[in-house]
Chains A and B, each alone.
Chain A
Amino acid sequence: MTMTLETKTPPIYETRVPILPLDLAPVEDVKVNRSAVERRAATLNTRRTVKKEWQAAWLLQSIRVIDLTTLSGDDTPGTVRRLCAKARQPLRSDLLAKLGLSQPLTTGAVCVYHEMVSTAVEALQGSNIPVAAVSTGFPAGLNPFKQKIEEIEASVKAGASEIDIVISRQHVLTQNWRALYDEVKAFREACGPAHMKSILAVGELGTLKNVMRASYVCMQAGSDFIKTSTGKEPTNATLPVSLVMARAIRDYYEQTGYKVGFKPAGGIRTAKQALDWLILMKEELGEAWMQPNLFRIGASALLNDIERQLEHFAYGRYASMQYQALG
């Protein structure tokens, strides 16, 4: 039996999630029991695990959904080009061969600040790897609204095909859903053909209930993905918060028929964590949400740990970082 990656993998941009009218009913009806959510989150990876060759396959899949990210004040075109090279070739070729993988393997995207978009686009030319730009006054989102729109437009113009916007937390904290909806909708319109990931900054929303409410509003306003965090808040992607967002996505799909993607970001550094999130996706949303068109992990250090685990699987010994190419 031979199957190729391509047959199973849906194109990254299939159909778009449209902007729907603001519907407050599901937002106001939100019920989230934190203790129960935490219990479920805590048993997700005790009820499920993958070992041996299955684990290797899942780790390869993890690489395919990474938005390989650099969002540092000291980024330069040089470091961004280095990152892009890693995105094109995330594993050493001997390791790929040992794993029996003949198809090309790349990360899901490269994610940078606007200033680095053109460098990344150039570095990734011909690879089909999209460039994502964080935007709208990332990470705090408190720039003037007009500038935010312009920032999106500039990034799209520079070649970014994915825009990671940040929402105004104040709209959530004051329960001003109309304002949140209008804001995100405007961002989406500014994105044009580029896909939009809405960053909720869950660590600043106070409660899981707010996370779920904000998820609904962002989905209604046309987000292609909802994303946990910028990586700059005090707490970022956690399993409980991801569970709540995944359930909102499932609910939205059941209500509207539209599949919204999910992107946890911030704090996912180990291969084990990547598996946890893939398990969460498989259990709560199904296999479709394990693919890069509906699932991404925002990370920078994660790839190297995955590489080490795969090396251990392939060669039966623990690996050292010095054998793995820097990103």
Chain B
Amino acid sequence: MTIPELLNTLAYGFAPEAAKPAEEWLEAHNRKFGLFINNEWREPSSKEYFDSINPANKNKLAEIAQASDDDVHDAVRAAKKACSKWSQLSGHARARYLYAIARQIQKHSRLFAVLETMDNGKPIRETRDIDIPLVARHFYHHAGWAQLMSSEMKGYESLGVVGQIIPWNFPLLMLSWKIAPALAMGNTVVLKPAEFTSLTALLFAEMCAKILPAGVINIITGDGRTGSALVNSDVDKIAFTGSTDVGRIIRKATAGTAKKISLELGGKSPFIVFDDADLDSAVEGVVDAIWFNQGQVCCAGSRLLVQEGVAEKMYKKLKARMEKLRVGDPLDKAVDIGAIIAPVQLQKIESLVKQGQDEGAQMWQPSWSCPTDGYFYPPTLFTNVAPASTIAQVEIFGPVLAAMTFRTPEEAVKLANNTRFGLAASIWSEDINLALDIATQIKAGTIWINSTNLFDAASGFGGYRESGFGREGGKEGLYEYVKKTMDDGRQTVKPKTQKNKSNGHKSSMVNGLSSIPSIDRTPKLFINGKQARPDSGYSLEVHDANGNFITEVGAGNRKDIRNAVEAARGVAEKWFKTTGHNKAQILYYLGENLAARADEFAKRISQQTGADSDSASHEVEQSIEALFTAAAWVDKYDGAIHNTPIRNVTLAVPEAIGVMGILLPDDKPLLALCQLAGTALAMGNALIVVPSPSYPLSATDFYQVLETSDVPDGVFNIITGNRDELAKTLSEHEDVDAIWYAGSKDGGKAVQIGSVGNMKQTWVMSANGELPEMNEILRHATQVKNIWVPYGA
């Protein structure tokens, strides 16, 4: 067209970013890539390769190696070998390496961006302006954490070798989220990129070979088989970002092992627009929420909740905006939406959209059509969506928005939380009172107020519920890559050997009054603030250290757990919202009332465990102190304000996890109760406590202390019985948010396997030995919610 003609249309035209440098890089490698192990490139032992395709034009970009089990083992071995030196480097030395990586990324930023766009199909605007700058930022930020590790992470050390598996939606960004904190904390890594998008990881590896010691970073490419081999290899931790289904597989595969895991999984995040929002800005927010990266974003705002009074106005504005979005060649600098990653994903989107229509929701798409030379899908809006419809519930991972309306803030929260996921939420209102009120009530790891999809290395990111656990970014993210340094002087208490349980009912009287029988005191279950008989109608014998019968406790069963969880859930939100001051008052009161009965509790400890009276009294003293410590922490376990690089406050708020099952260890029955359950209680959780089957009586005695200390009904429930059976019910219970288990190895494994239903957090400890330290307990009793609050007059 001539310029005068163009002057008449004033169209945008083509504005392609040059692909040439990336093409040349591919050519220089003959479009074939091996595995990066120990700073060397090698062929996969299987000699198997697969194609990497540009989804925008279906062209083959390169052949990628399929790593076999052997290759994975070699990589892990290389990482292990490198680890001893790497972990012993000074933080400053590691900081220099991370700084060098960050610099390399910046120096080659455009090559990374173009290559990423070709491999993934996302617009060059995003790789150039968002992905790659965030990658560099992540390494810079964590260079700082390496530098500060010795002072800020005192008492912690590296884990060893970390296996990392990342998704295809943000290939290099997810790589940086995984590698930067791992390296900073002194670990070495074996990383598997997604098979659709390996190229930038390989370019990254090539760059690392020039700066890092051999074996510190190993990149093994391949499909799910490679991932599975990595999960089952001899690594100390698996860090995974991807689908909830694969997350479940990893949870199961690592259950019962010493491998630490962190999972960042799916989402169905709400985007809530109140009637006092800046609607034009909210519309742009939606664009950034669901039409960013073709909607293939785990935290995409895929559920639009609009207050009824402004819904029609909002939809109208939204449709006008959608009409102006541009879908096409992702290398075009003026394109908003690029290509869907692969045919399989496109088909999934298409079938879910069809299902949405079949289920009665109203679909709207812009009038223009998408290019057909690649895997493109238009931005799509569904209105009239019911919470019951499939598209409101499942993660579509495409440019599809499901909209529904609400009437009140309360209903907005209800709808927002009506999901199995809990990754993120976006709240739009010009009223700070309203926005923060909603932010505290939404079950999600990241809340963006009047903004969306903001990320930064200084802020933690991660989910609640089925969106996974663990955080990436911020100081909270570092703990995923460290463990407590063991003191040499730490002792393990010998497990109690079960004495022969005589059925002779040889009575051992607590008070030594043997002349007349003591009054039968029947320990019951404690549910919803009331003593309750076990549903089963059965009891279990409790014996003293010498195997003599003491008494019987209720044999709690599934239904008792059900009732206790119901009671806990009913009061959980209220307990969490109780002021810190009031919670602390109750904890102190517990300590006070326990102290009043110190002798009785000491005797009970002696009676059960055979501990001499001094050590039993000491345990009671320690227990009282533990309650005081927990009480002290209630209003001091503060969050942080992260220093993220926009004009805002990013509030990192430690929140209660919710309803927790705590299966107590055998040792120190009273101290374990007060320290573990007391701290969990202090942090605002509602508890179902299962005491040690060997020494349950300290717990059953304790409910009288609970009854006299103003603990609200339902907040602290006690179920006695077979620990592993109860643990299984609790771990499978979908309304339990976290479970701490102390017991057998098999029991721990069963808990972790059972947890996959709702992907609850698990913390497995040994049945005996020292209790975890307070800072560990506090961290496990809370989850960090990051609330971004941009401001500006």
Residues of A within 8 A of B (CB): 1-5, 7-8, 31-40, 43, 46-54, 56-58, 60-61, 99-103, 206-207, 247, 278, 282-283, 287, 290
Q: Does A8 contact B8, Cβ atoms closer than 8 Å? A: yes
Residue of B8, B278, B647 ringed by the most chain A CB atoms within 10 A: B278
B5 touches A3 (CB 8 A): yes
Instruction: List A contacts of B324 (CB < 8 A).
Output: 283
A50, B7: Cβ atoms under 8 Å? no
Rounded to whole angstroms, the CA-CA distance of A247 and B281 in the bound complex is 10
Specify which chain B residues have a CB less than 8 angstroms from the CB of A40 in the assembled complex: 281, 284
Question: Which residues of chain B have C-beta atoms less than 8 A from A43's C-beta?
Answer: 129
B388 within 8 A of A: no
Docked Cα-Cα span, A103 to B3, in Å, equals 12
Give the distance to chain B from A250, nearest Cβ to Cβ, in Å: 8
B792 within 8 A of A: yes
- Residues from chain B with Cβ under 8 Å of A31 in the complex: 276-279, 430
Which of these, A3, A36, A54, contacts B8 with CB under 8 Å? A3
- Cβ of B285 under 8 Å from chain A: yes
Given contacts A35-B790, A47-B336, A282 and B284 within 8 Å (CB-CB): no
Contact of A54 (CB < 8 Å), options: B12, B129, B791: B12
| Contact A49–B7 (Cβ < 8 Å) | no
CA distance A156 to B536 in the complex (A): 97
Instruction: List 19 other contacts, CB 8 Å, given A31-B278, A39-B284, A49-B12.
Output: A5-B4, A5-B8, A8-B8, A32-B281, A35-B451, A35-B791, A35-B792, A36-B284, A37-B281, A48-B334, A49-B334, A50-B12, A51-B13, A51-B15, A51-B333, A57-B10, A60-B3, A100-B4, A282-B10
Docked complex Cα distance between A30 and B4 (Å) = 41
- Pick the contact of B6 from A7, A54, A102 — CB < 8 Å? A54
11 contacting pairs across A/B (C-beta < 8 A): A7-B8, A35-B790, A46-B129, A51-B13, A51-B15, A54-B15, A56-B6, A57-B7, A60-B3, A99-B3, A101-B7
A39–B793 contact, CB under 8 A?
no
Q: List residues of B (480-526) whose CB comes within 8 Å of A's CBs.
A: none
CA distance A286 to B391 in the complex (A): 33
Known: A36-B450, A101-B3, A102-B4. A52 touches B10 (CB 8 A): no
- Chain B residue, CB-CB nearest to A41: B284
Q: How many residues of B contact A (CB 8 A)?
A: 40
Q: How far is the CB of A170 from chain B (nearest CB, A)?
A: 19
Among A2, A53, A207, A283, which residue has its beta carbon within 8 angstroms of that of B13?
A53
Nearest chain-A residue to B280 (Cβ)?
A: A247
A-B pairs under 8 A by CB, number: 112
Q: How far is the CA of A2 from the CA of B4 in the complex (A)?
A: 9
Complex CA distance for A243 and B277, rounded to whole angstroms: 17
Q: Which residues of the partner chain A approach B13 to less than 8 Å between Cβ atoms?
A: 50-54
Write the residues of chain B forming the contact surface with A, with a CB cutoff of 8 angstroms: 1-8, 10-15, 125, 129, 276-282, 284-285, 288, 324, 333-334, 336, 430, 450-451, 646-648, 790-793
Q: Which residues of A lie under 8 Å from residue B6 when comparing CB positions?
A: 53-54, 56-57
Q: How far is the CA of A43 from the CA of B126 in the complex (A)?
A: 11
| Contact assessment for A36 and B281 in the assembled complex, using a CB-CB cutoff below 8 Å | yes
A235 CB to closest chain B CB, in angstroms? 14
Instruction: Return chain A residues, CB-CB under 8 Å to B279.
Output: 31
Contact check, A35 vs B450: say whether CB atoms are below 8 A apart.
yes
CA distance A47 to B12 in the complex (A): 11
Contact of A34 among B3, B276, B793 (CB under 8 A): B793
A49 CA to B324 CA in the complex, in Å? 14
Q: Which residues of B contact A207 (CB under 8 A)?
A: 793
Q: Which residues of B contact A34 (CB under 8 A)?
A: 792-793
Given A33-B278, A100-B2, A102-B4: A47 and B334 interface contact (C-beta under 8 Å): yes
Taking a contact as CB atoms under 8 Å apart, the answer to whether B647 and A36 are in contact is no
Q: In the complex, A312 Cα to B648 Cα: how many Å?
A: 42
Question: Residue among A2, A37, A39, A52 with the most chain B CB within 10 A?
Answer: A39
Contact across chains for B278 and A32 when beta carbons are under 8 A apart: yes
Rounded to whole angstroms, the CA-CA distance of A61 and B9 in the bound complex is 11
The smallest beta-carbon distance between B171 and chain A, in angstroms, is 21
Complex: A262 Cα to B6 Cα, angstroms: 23
* Minimum distance in angstroms from A317 CB to a CB of chain B: 18
A99–B7 Cα distance when bound, in Å, is 11
Q: Which B residues are in CB contact (< 8 Å) with A46?
A: 125, 129
Complex Cα–Cα for A39 and B450 (A): 11
* Residues in A neighbouring B3, C-beta threshold 8 A: 53, 56-57, 60, 99-101
Query: Contacts A34-B793, A101-B4 hold; do A287 and B281 have CB atoms under 8 A apart?
Result: no
Q: How far is the CA of A60 from the CA of B280 in the complex (A)?
A: 30
**Docked pose: A90 CA to B4 CA in angstroms:** 16
Chain B positions within 8 Å of A247 at CB level: 280
- Chain B residues within an 8 Å CB radius of A7: 8
CA separation between A36 and B281, bound complex, in Å? 6
- Write out the residue numbers on chain B whose beta carbons fall within 8 Å of the beta carbon of A48: 12, 334
Bound-state CA distance A19–B285 (Å) is 35
Contacts A46-B125, A60-B7; A38 near B336 (Cβ below 8 A): no
A281: nearest chain-B partner, CB-CB: B10
Nearest chain B residue, comparing its CB with the CB of A313: B3
- In whole Å, how far is A178's beta carbon from the nearest beta carbon of chain B? 25
Q: Which residues of B contact A54 (CB under 8 A)?
A: 6, 11-15
How far, in whole Å, are A6 and B3 apart by their CA atoms in the complex?
Answer: 15
Whether B14 lies near A51 (C-beta < 8 A) is yes
A60 to chain B: closest residue by CB: B7
Closest-CB distance, B579 to chain A (whole angstroms): 31
